[in-house]
């Protein structure tokens, strides 16, 4: 691992180190937390923990590259996104399925939409397809996922069968998927259509967004599982 004395104003490098530590810590907490909850909550929490573990490995590598070169190509980001974003979407499906039946077709539609979302964005950003087309396809897939979690079977089952803790957790998950995840198409649009973008600003934005979109997102599952375990014990 590269050892470098960070300057007081080297915010970009600091955010890489911050996220490396935060995602590792979240992974430990989430995987350990599967022992503290009822069996039905173990799968969504474990999936969230795997997502943060993948992200932690990404940040460990990315931190080394950034500290050594001051640069990071977008392929580093997409390697992580290809794995973490579908895992997170699937985790939401199993979160709802923990307390209510949900058709398996919803699982496959969400998984395909999540993969296409990242793939289209990657192809647009790397000029493998026209950036506008890549942006529009990825935006459509994100809106489809939001449609499922706000107006589809997941939302219906959550409202009908979920406890107060579940409904509060589902509210925060949807909020993160709406507001937090909006940073990705926004940054893609800025990078692709507004001319050269300062890399340190772009990566700092992505890094800080992951505190919410990965760490807080995963810990929401654990918080609900532990509240449900506490309710059951009483």
CATH of residue 129's domain is: 1.20.1070.10
Q: Are 206 and 144 in contact (CB under 8 A)?
A: no
In a domain, 92, yes or no: yes
**Lowest mean pLDDT segment, chosen from 22-31, 133-142, 183-192:** 183-192
Kindly state whether residue 139 falls inside one of the protein's structural domains.
yes
Residue 125 pLDDT more than 80?
yes
Residue 61, domain extent: 12-227
Structural domain includes residue 6: no
Please write the tens of the pLDDT for every residue from 34-84: 999 999 999 999 999 999 999 999 999 999 999 888 888 888 889 999 999
If we measure between CA atoms, which residue out of 155, 143, 127, 216 comes closest to residue 184?
143
Secondary structure letter of residue 178 according to DSSP: I
Q: pLDDT-based confidence at 86, cuts 50/70/90?
A: very high
- Check: pTM over 0.85? Answer yes or no: yes
- The percent of residues in the chain predicted with pLDDT above 90, rounded, is 76
Work out how many domains the chain is built from and give that number: 1
- Whole-number pLDDT of residue 5: 62
Does residue 7 sit within a domain? no
Is residue 188 situated within a structural domain? yes
Q: Is 81 exposed, middle or buried (0-12, 13-18, 19+ CB in 10 A)?
A: buried
Res 1: pLDDT:
55
| Confidence class for position 139, pLDDT limits 50, 70, 90 | very high
What's the whole-number mean pLDDT along residues 153-165? 93
Q: Give the separation between CA 49 and CA 46, rounded to whole angstroms.
A: 5
Whether 97 has a pLDDT exceeding 60, the answer reads: yes
Least confident of 1-5, 56-60, 178-182, 198-202: 1-5
3 in a structural domain: no
**What is the number of helices (H) and of strands (E) in the chain?**
10, 0
Residue 232 within a domain: no
Q: According to the model, what pLDDT value does residue 233 have?
A: 57
């Amino acid at each position: 691992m590269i050892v470098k004395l960070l300057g007081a104003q080297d915010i970009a490098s600091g955010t890489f180190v911050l996220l490396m530590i935060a995602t590792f810590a979240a992974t430990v907490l989430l995987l350990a937390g599967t022992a503290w909850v009822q069996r039905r909550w173990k799968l969504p929490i474990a999936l969230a923990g795997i997502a943060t573990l993948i992200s932690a490995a990404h940040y460990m590598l990315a931190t080394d590259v950034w500290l050594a070169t001051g640069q990071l190509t977008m392929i580093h980001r997409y390697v992580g996104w290809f794995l973490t974003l579908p895992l997170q979407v699937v985790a939401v499906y199993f979160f709802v399925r923990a307390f209510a039946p949900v058709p398996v077709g919803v699982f496959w539609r969400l998984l395909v939409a999540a993969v296409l979302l990242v793939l289209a964005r990657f192809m647009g950003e790397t000029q493998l397809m026209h950036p506008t087309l890549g942006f529009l396809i990825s935006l459509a897939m994100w809106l489809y996922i939001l449609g499922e979690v706000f107006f589809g079977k997941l939302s219906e089952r959550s409202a009908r069968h979920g406890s107060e803790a579940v409904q509060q957790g589902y509210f925060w998950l949807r909020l993160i998927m709406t507001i937090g995840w909006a940073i990705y198409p926004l940054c893609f649009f800025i990078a692709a259509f507004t001319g050269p973008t300062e890399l340190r600003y772009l990566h700092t934005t992505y890094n800080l967004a992951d505190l919410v979109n990965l760490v807080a997102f995963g810990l929401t599952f654990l918080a609900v599982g532990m509240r449900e375990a506490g309710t059951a014990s009483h």
